Amino acid sequence: MPVESAFETTIEHVSILDEHANFDAELGEGLIPDDDLVAMYRHMRMCRQFDQIAFKLQRSGRMGTYPENRGQECPSLGAAYALTKKDWLVPCYRENAGLFWRGLPPEKILLHWMGDERGNQIDPELRVTPIAIPIGTQMLHAAGLAWASKYRGDGGIACTFFGDGATSEGDFHEAMNFSANLDLPVVFMCQNNSWAISVPTKIQCSAPTIAQRGLAYGMHCVQCDGNDLFAVVKVVRDAAKRAREDNRPTFIEAITYRLGDHTTADDARRYRDAEEVELWQGRDPMIRLKAFMIERGLWDESRDAAINEQVEHEVAQITERAENIEAPSRDDIFNYMYESIPDNLRAQRDTMRTSSIGQDPTQIDAPVAQPS
């Protein structure tokens, strides 16, 4: 028998606004209206200020830890912009720009990292899940949410975010296999920032691209410049169209970079070369976007200075709301454990006693001792 090719394909790399602010008008013209572009740039500036203040909160002992988003804003922001309100955003923990654009109050993120669970109490109308710290678990949630939308026929899809290191997790492969085999409307957004904490991508994956990992599951795969807002919007819109019309998942590899440490508990200088960081600082998504807007006459340095003052004030108010939130009640752990609180838990809540209720149920009606 002759030897024939069993499978051939290519994976496209999409770039519209490069690091030198060169713009591909054929692909990008009309993709993001000027007013929206200005609003998105301003939003990114607010997110950068938010990062700075969160870092200071941690260093001053007012917050436990924090993962900076600096340099990695475009994948989640572009996705949040391209998707609709009926679609789910299923984040890991470096998607502030997209979550805030969707409408999540920024103080929710501060509360989460301060250890206040009310930071994870999210308005269901936003269709945003709480940030996920375990690596890869959120991809399974996205598959389930997409399956539910397909079953209900509500036209919604799910978009989930994860890093390059998460593609080595079993949860990643299970979610990809499940979504492809059941024709689920999911967008898998891999934010390849070159490092899984201190482990470089070349150790995580020996293939030329992370994107091709999706080929094994028979789904469409594409790579894009993850620091190019236009490119992210384009590939997500294409993926959303495929999900809605064909119920097919898409795997997107967004090439980006975290300019800060993995978290405030990390020191990236121990494993990253200064030259590498300097190279990626020149590819900063905000630098190229600002240069493009100035060239288009949409921005100037005076407006830039004014934005600084505005976002400083805005983030100061966000911080004040988070730090001055009313202290939780001791009753909350009982009231929010079940939809309808069982009698035995109601008794524990009301009496603050647990050890002898079984032996002496009459104590349920006994008065609670007040502190002297």
- Per-residue pLDDT of 255-267, as tens digits, reads 999 999 999 999 9
* Residue 231 near residue 237, CB atoms below 8 Å: no
Residue indicated by tokens 């692909």:
27
- Per-residue pLDDT of 166-179, as tens digits, reads 999 999 999 999 99
Q: Which of 1-10, 24-33, 141-150 has the lowest mean pLDDT?
A: 1-10
pLDDT of residue 337: 85
**Confidence check: pLDDT of 356 > 80:** no
* Residue 229 near residue 294, CB atoms below 8 Å: no
User: How many percent of the chain have pLDDT more than 70?
Assistant: 95
pLDDT of residue 362: 63
Superfamily grouping for domain 13-323: Thiamin diphosphate (ThDP)-binding fold, Pyr/PP domains (3.40.50.970)
Catalytic residues, by residue number, are 258, 262, 271
pTM of structure:
0.91
According to DSSP, the residues that pair with 253 across neighbouring strands are 190, 223
Q: How confident is the model at residue 272 (pLDDT cuts 50, 70, 90)?
A: very high
For 54-60, what is the mean pLDDT? Answer: 96
Residue 137 burial (10 A CB sphere; 0-12, 13-18, 19+): middle
Nearest to 181 by CA among 138, 147, 217: 217
pLDDT of residue 88: 98
List, by residue range, all CATH 3.40.50.970 domains of the chain: 13-323
CA distances 142 to 132, 158, 183, 243, 348, Å, are 12, 6, 13, 13, 37
Give the span between the Cα atoms of 283 and 293, in whole angstroms: 16
pLDDT of residue 268: 96
